[in-house]
Amino acid sequence: MSKIGILGSGTWGTALANMFALHEHEVTLYSSFKEETESLVKTYRHPHLDCQLTDKIEFTNDVDKACINKDIIIFASPSPYIRASVTKAKPYINKKQILVCVAKGIEPDTHYFMSEIMEDVLGKGYKIAALSGPTHAEEVAICQPTCIVSASKNKEARRIVQKEFSNDILRVYTNKDIRGVELCGALKNIVALAAGLSEGLGYGDNAKAAIITRGLAEITRLGKKMHCKTKTFYGLAGIGDIVVTATSTHSRNHNAGVLLGKGYSLEDTLKEIGMVVEGVNALIAAKQLQMKYKVELPIIDAAYNIIQGKLEVGDVLPVLFGRRPQSETRYKKQK
């Protein structure tokens, strides 16, 4: 069993901590908030997870305790805070450790994925992997059956993550296309936001299925331009993660879309959700990538324009349905 440090005590970091600790790993969970750690130690409950946490988890406010002498370090902060989290941990990390990022997003302007931010901060030679797939924290925390993907350019990193993380309820697959896996993880949140918008507007399953399917087509089209592997988009990190995020009431991105579709302002929506909505954060970078690679992303574009206040929610249907007819299997050649 491994010594695992987890940096970030949100729902996903805490869920992983609980599941790994229950499967005999030695787990230390770091939070930058003293009050949060005190509450976790006192109650062994997370405010957004409906379960009792195991007392096998060690909670700490000291980042060095979550890094030093650990075999694997998991970065579980929301994507906007990954750069700061890695910078804070850098003095306590070494190249023998396996570094795993479970955040999903793209940094605006640099267009770096989370693993690329880690490499940018740490430098070359570190064993970095991304863990992604259809994984609700609420289910992982209570050890519900789950499949996930360990992606890395480093064969040793992805194989060690697969070996150490696999157990009787978590099946881990490997994929060397880390860029494709991370692209799926970031943009599926936008598709989930769009699916929620559709539901909030009162549309049914037909519309949601169309958004999921055509949203995947958009992500795949952009991914091909970015030299990702097509098979990645039809695996767990692609269609698997889109389905679970776009259809479930566990999904904060889906739920945020529902509220926006019902007429809530963005400010009120984010306040109601009470946690980071990654789909909103990913929109600026997605729009920048669309312009850089000159690809058609109508669903993602519509979501961007709604969030930016350039398109009324009620006008989205005629915008999408008013586009010129074309074949499902063949788009015009991208320049």
Quick: pLDDT tens for 51-88.
999 999 999 999 999 999 999 999 999 999 999 999 99
Tokens (6 digits) for 145: 């059956």
Which residues lie below 8 Å from residue 325, measured CB to CB, with a gap of 6+? none
Per-residue pLDDT tens for 111-149? 999 999 999 999 999 999 999 999 999 999 999 999 999
> Which residue of the set 70, 104, 127, 188 is catalytic?
188
230 C-beta neighbours (distance < 10 Å), count: 12
Measure the CA–CA gap between 153 and 127, rounded to whole angstroms.
9
Under the banding of pLDDT at 50, 70 and 90, the label for residue 335 is: very low
What's the mean pLDDT when you consider all of the chain? 95
Torsional sign, CA 100, 105, 106, 107: negative
Bridge partners of residue 30, in order along the sequence: 7, 60
Is 42 an annotated catalytic residue?
no
* Mean pLDDT, residues 15-39 taken together: 97
What pLDDT sits at residue 181? 98
Structure tokens at 162: 């697969």
pLDDT tens sequence across 255-314: 999 999 999 999 999 999 998 899 999 999 999 999 999 999 999 999 999 999 999 999
Q: What is the pLDDT of residue 329?
A: 79
**Mean pLDDT, to the nearest integer, of 160-180?**
98
- The whole-number pLDDT of residue 1 equals 85
If you count them, how many residues does the chain have?
Answer: 335
Q: Which domains does the chain have, with CATH numbers?
A: 3-176 (3.40.50.720), 188-321 (1.10.1040.10)
Q: Is the pLDDT of residue 253 over 50?
A: yes
- Asked whether the predicted pLDDT for residue 332 surpasses 80, the reply is no
**H helix runs in 278-328, sequence order:** 278-293, 298-307, 316-321
